[in-house]
Structure 1
C-alpha cells in the first residue's frame, strides 16, 4: 500500500552543470607541453572533490530524518476510508485524434455492444435468481425434538441428555444431541451445549468440526464448577446446509438419513457410526496409549456387558465408548475428543427425513425399526408425533430387557417438497 520513500541528494557546488558546460565551451584547447602535467593535476583535484562530495553526502544522510511510516499509513487510510478500493480507476482518454464521423460510428458500435452484454447478463442473472427461488420453494424443513429422563429402578434419574436445534435461515440449520455420563454428566452436557451454540452462531458458515470440538474439550479443563475427570458427554452435530448434510460426532449418539431409492423403497444412510472400544481402529489407538479394552467380568470371570476402556492394571474408568468430550482420565489412556466427519449431498424429492438421538433410542431399536416407525408420521408431516412414537417404543423396549431405563432424546427432521 505504501510507495517507496526516498530523496535524491544533489552534489554540493557553487555553480550549476549548465554554467560549467558553457564555460568549458568558451575555453580554447591548450596544446602546450605542460598538457600532461595539467591533466594529472586535474585528476588529483577531481579525486579530492569526489571524496569531499561523498563525505558531505554521508553527513547529509546521517542528519536526514526518515519519514514516519505510521503517520503516512494513517493519512492514507483516512484519505481512502470513504472510497471503494475494489473498483477499477477510470481509464484515461485516448490522445489519438479521429474524425467526428468515425468517432460517432465507434460510439454507436460500443453502445450496441454494451446493450447486448447487459441484456445477456441480466437474463442470466434473472434465470439464476428464479432457479434459486424455485429450489428454495421446493423443499421445506419441519422438525421437532423431545427428551425424557431415565429411571434407575427406584427413582427417576436426572436427565443428562441435552438437545440443540438452531435455524439460521430458510436453508441452514444445526441439530445436536449430547448424552452426558458420570457423576457430573448433566453439567458437562450443559457446558458443551452452551459453547456449541455460541460457536455455531459465530462460525456456522466456516464451521471447523475438529477445531471447535477440541477447543470445547480444552475449555473444560479451565473451569472449576464441576468435575470432568470421570464425567463427559457424547456430541453428534448435524449441519443442514443448502445443498448438503454435514455430520461430526464423538461417542455413540447416532444420526441416520432415510432416502427413497429407485424402487420407491426406503434406504438408510448412516450419518454417524457409534464409537465403540472394540472397533479395530479405536482399539489400536487405545492400546497404543496404554489403555486396555475389555468388558466387565463377573466373580466367576465370565464377561458381561459391552466393551469398555480401562487403565492398565486398574478398575477405572470403565468407559463404554472410545471417543467423548471431557473424561480426562479416559483421555489419558486413548479415548479421543477428535470427531469423525461425514458429508452427504441432499437429493431433492428423494431425501425424506433424519433421525438424531442418544443411545437410549438405539440400545434396543435398530435403524430399520426407527425408519419404519417414523415413515407414517412423515406422510402426515407430523414430526412431533414421530418423536413421541420413538420415545414410547424405546421405553417399552427398555422395560422388556432391563430393570432401568436410560435417558432418551430424539430429534426428527422432515424434508417436505412442494408439488
Structure 2
C-alpha cells in the first residue's frame, strides 16, 4: 500500500525555525509562521516585497552593517550556488507601533540555494534564528566570567582546529593520490606518430576531486586520418569518473571500426543503455581527412566543435546535433555533416566547463571562445590550449570540469 502524500506546505508553515523563501531578486516569495511571528510583520506585508525594503539598516546607527552583510551573503549564494552560514549579525528592527524607534536585535542566518532541474538557482532559503537574549545574557556576565569562558572556548577550539586540519591534510593527500592515478589511467596524453600537431588539457572544477565525467580522445585511423572526440558524463566524483572510463573506452574502440563519427556515436549510444549513470551523457566526434581536407562530424547533444580558420574567421560544427546518449526511446541513426578546411586551420573540441557560465546566454559564451581563437590563431596548439584556458576560465576557478583538444590541420 502506498504511503500517504506529505503536505509540504503545511510542513513549511509549521517549521519551528524562522524560514523565508526569496527570489533571485531578493523578494519574499513565502515565509513560514515562525518567521512572521518573530519578524513582527504579517505575511501580507512580506510577500512580494524586497527583503531590504522591509528590513533596512538602522539609519540612526552609522556603523550598522546587518543589511549590507546579509545582502553580500545572498549575492554570494546566487553567484556560487553554495550555502552560506553567516556569523551572528546585529540587525536592528524598527517598531511597528512607534515609527523611528529601533530595537536592538541579533540574528544567526543561514542562506541556502534551491535549484531547478537545469541546475539554476531559482530560490534562496533564508533560515534565521534570533539570538538576542543569548547575546544580552553574555553581556551581563562579569568581565572575569567572560574571560574565563573565552579562554576555555579558545583552548577547545584550538584543539578542535588542530584535529580538523590534520584530518583535512590526510584527506586532501589521499584525494590527490586517487585523483592523479585515475587521471593518468583514464585520460592519458595522446600518442600520435608525429604527423599531427595536437594538444589536450583537463582542468577539474574548484572544490572537486581531481577527476569527473569529462573526457577527450584522439585516434589515428588507417590512411593517415585522425578521429577526435570529447564527452561529458552528468555528475562529478569517482562514480562519474567510472562511467566516463567505460564510455571513453567504448567510443575509442567504435571510432576505429565504425564508418564515420555518426555510426561511432550510434554504437556508443547502444552501449550506454547498459551502463548505469550514462544517461544524458553528451559527446562529439570529428573525423579529420587530410586526403580531401574535410571534417566529418556528429554530436550527441554536445556543444559544437569550432574550426578557427587561418584567415581569422570561425565556423561552428553545429549542423549534425542529436539528443544526448540514452535519451531516445528507440534507436535511430545519428546525423552527420561535412565541412572543408584548409592547411593551417585549427580544430577545437571542448566540454562545457570552458564556456558555460551561470546566468549567461550560451551564445555570449561561444562568441567569447570565437574571439579568443581569432585573436590567437597563429599560436601553436600547446600555446593556444594554455591561452584559451587563461582567456576563458574564471580566475578563481571554474565550477565545472573542462576538457580541451586543439588540433592544427
Q: Structure 1 length as normaliser, TM-score?
A: 0.43
Which gives a bigger RCO, structure 1 or 2 (Cα 8 Å, sep 6+)? 1
Determine which structure has more spread, i.e. the larger CA radius of gyration.
1
